[in-house]
Amino acid sequence: MLDSRDPLGSLKEHIARGIAEAASRLGLKVDPTEIPVQKTPSREVGHLGSPIGFKLAGRLKMSPEEVSKNVVDRLNLSSIPIAASASPARGFVNFRFDEPTLIRAIIDAASSPEFGRGDVRGGVVMVEHTSANPAHPLHVGSGRNAVIGDSYARMLRHAGRRVETHYLVNDSGNQTILMSYGFSKVTGEKPKGKIDHWFGAVYAATNIAIELRRAEGEERERLEQALDRLRAEHGEVVDKVFRAIREDPDPEGGVRNLLAAYQAGETWAKEIVRAAVESVMEGFVDTLDRLDIKHDAYDWESDLIWNGWTAEMLERLKDSGYVGFEGGAAYVDLARAIREREDVARVFGLTAERVRELDAEGRLEEVVPPKFYLTRSDGTWLYTATDVAYSLYKIEGVGVEVCHNVIGAEQRLEQLQVRASVALAGEDPDRIQHFSYEMVNLVGVAMSGRLGIYVTLDELMDEAKRKVVELLRDRPGLSQEEAEEIAEKVAVGAIRFALLSVDPSKPVVFSWDRVLNLEANSGPFTQYAYTRASGILRKAGGSPREYQAAALGTDGEYDLVMHLAEFPETLRSAISLRRPDVVAQYANELAARFNKFYETHPVLPAEEPTRSARLALVSAVRNTLGLAMDLIGVPRLEKM
RNA sequence: GGGCCCGUAGCUCAGCAAGGAUAGAGCGGCGGCCUUCUAAGCCGCAGGUCGGGGGUUCGAGUCCCCCCGGGCCCGCCA
């Protein structure tokens, strides 16, 4: 029978098995999973087809056409549910089903919240995402990370995985400590505006003040311009920080000192840094909450240090024999580890043989940077070290089966170093996965937290909302509060869709036009289709109890139904390829097909049995579109 | 220099994982459609050497090799 959560998928499996059986009757053993089954280019030739003739022609020493004919002759059609006919067409074999039965199976499946859902199975899957540095507000780059990670977690959950989302609060590194040092000069100030933006200004002002001590010429000019911009936006706190740092005889020493004291857990340092970072994180949580992004846990880098995870990690790496010291700084002898340990070589995509080859050519240390540091000479921990400790915490502390680290592509090498270290510490490096995504750039200028140049998620939200409120002004029958609520949700839909809908492996150039797009190929486009479906169902008083699938069958209806059927497979692809954007594309395509249907197929005014059948289809579209929107976090709306 | 990634319409992107039936959307441009379920919509027109060249194959945007162009990384930063 057909799987009620994925009828099309099970139909394809049945076809592949049927063809494999037919092939075995021709004396050829074929694995059903190797047999492609796809949609036909047009309904005239059948519903599903397979280019099996081309595939087996060589092995059977027949022409593709002959193979197709022979497969059809030896096919046990009754083993394929609801199949009405199979016909050879050049090298293809095309299958036709009893169409009303097919349509009903799909509509019924697509009307359930269980559509595309997987059985609950396996251990905890962690998705670590966002993890933005507290030194500047969440910007569009952090937004891409957050939206990718959050959406991916939603998809894993629908697929039946137990998911935990974590945020690593990076409070023990140079940038955050620098911000905290600047903050220590203005603790008497009352922060103005959104708290994380205020701290972002403190950070940038501190950094500029320090850099200006050395900068000359053009660089000096750039810094001064950045300072002016900062001053214009954030007012006197910028000057206060700037003056305090300028008068400080040794701000860099002060930062180093604060970093060491904080990592050592000294009370005075904790009071400063924790106060700063906790404030910033409150701001971050507000922003993420607006985008409907929540983390199950916030893991503080400093806790990993204070609770001994980093120290234990270092002991284990020392025990492995690949840690060296240089002026007090600990490093991992990666080149030697790669030479001697196959598991470490594999992390870098190298076989033992390839390592020997490279070594013979003297190129190993050119292909792989030969070592990396875990601590500074003063004994303080570097980011890579806390990240290795964090990985061990994920595996042994939380007990995850696997963790997907949503981290920018520019950190590829660091992630490989972390995974190599995990292997040296005796854990399976494949349990730590780098979910890589490319950066978001601004036209002309590069975003720079150091200089306070970025487009923040908050301003993006505000601007998107403003645009929607404007549009809503001439909508009749909407109260002020309704309009506000709708605008907020449309803004969220627009931003999430825009940040998600491009393949994560491709760099994107940020454009306001693209994010504020409310037309086709956008979150609001899917929301609009959803409200149209909702409107019809609302006026009809709900979905019909009974309907005749045979009343459906126009091309528009068929296209819509077949696209509904692809939801489960789309979800599986999105997960296995780490491409949450494909679900966004899917939702957009479903919305587009529904809009076409909507324009050409009146539902409420239609005669029975067409009316009920179309209502059932609308209900299935609403459900499936809603599920897809849930997965990418585009809010459902009943009216807009 | 080495490694990884990207190159499809004027612009922004799908299609490449598992090669398959005529290369698709959107934006922008031009022209149409609101007394009928929300026009944030729909329809039509114009727009393509799929970066270039080889190769594998019955078949290549998709796989392999070389080249060109762009991005990122190669820090006791994160």
Which nucleotides on strand B sit less than 7 A from a protein beta carbon? 1-7, 12-15, 17-18, 20-22, 25-28, 36-43, 58-59, 71-78
Q: Which residues contact A94 (CB under 8 A, 6 or more apart)?
A: A40, A45, A46, A47, A48, A49, A86, A87, A88
Give dist(CA A10, CA A562) in Å, integer: 14
Q: Which residue is nearest to nucleotide B1 (CA to C1')?
A: A366
Tokens coding A162 = 């137990």
Distance A571 CA to B37 C1' (A): 30
Distance (Å) from CA A413 to C1' B31? 54
Task: Output the distance from A520 CA to B30 C1' rounded to whole Å.
Answer: 19
Model confidence pLDDT, tens digit, residues A387-441: 999 999 999 999 999 999 999 999 999 999 999 999 999 999 999 999 999 988 8
Q: Which residue is nearest to nucleotide B28 (CA to C1')?
A: A513
**What top-level class would CATH report for the domain A7-97?**
alpha beta
Task: Give buried/exposed letters for A49-59 (b at 16+ CB in 10 A, else e).
Answer: bbbbbbbbbee
Distance A130 CA to B62 C1' (A): 33
Q: Is A540 exposed, middle or buried (0-12, 13-18, 19+ CB in 10 A)?
A: middle
Does the pLDDT value for residue A319 go beyond 90? yes
Q: Return the closest-CA partner of residue A38 out of A55, A21, A22.
A: A55
For residue A176, which nucleotide's C1' is closest to its Cα?
Answer: B78
Q: What is the pLDDT of residues A117-154, one digit of tens each?
A: 999 999 999 999 999 999 999 999 999 999 999 999 99
DSSP for residue A418: H
Give the C-alpha separation, A634 to A486, whole Å. 12
User: Smallest CA–C1' separation from A520: which nucleotide?
Assistant: B26
pLDDT digits (tens, 9 = 90+) for A251-266: 999 999 999 999 999 9
Determine whether A627 is exposed, middle or buried from the number of CB atoms within 10 Å of its CB (0-12, 13-18, 19+). Answer: buried
Task: Please name the nucleotide lying closest to A519, CA to C1'.
Answer: B40
- Nearest nt to the CA of A604 via C1' is B37
The separation, in Å, between residue A175 CA and nucleotide B4 C1' comes to 27
The predicted structure's pLDDT at residue A447: 75
The pLDDT value given to residue A12 = 95
Which pLDDT value is given to residue A444? 61
Confidence bin at A473 (pLDDT 50/70/90): confident
Nucleotide B35 C1' to residue A535 CA (A): 20
CATH class of A308-440: alpha beta
What is the domain partition of chain A in residue ranges? 7-97, 174-293, 308-440, 457-632
Å between CA of A42 and C1' of B13: 26
Give pLDDT tens digits for A193-234: 999 999 999 999 999 999 999 888 888 998 999 999 999 999
Assigned token pair, A121: 């199975």
pLDDT in tens, A74-89: 999 999 999 999 999 9
Q: Give the type of residue at A20.
A: A
The nucleotide closest to A36 (CA, C1' atoms): B18
Q: Is the dihedral of CA A169, A172, A177, A178 positive or negative?
A: negative
Top-tier CATH class for A457-632: mainly alpha
Between CA A511 and C1' B31 the distance (Å) reads: 29
Matching CATH topology for A308-440 and A457-632?
no
Tokens of A531: 């409200």
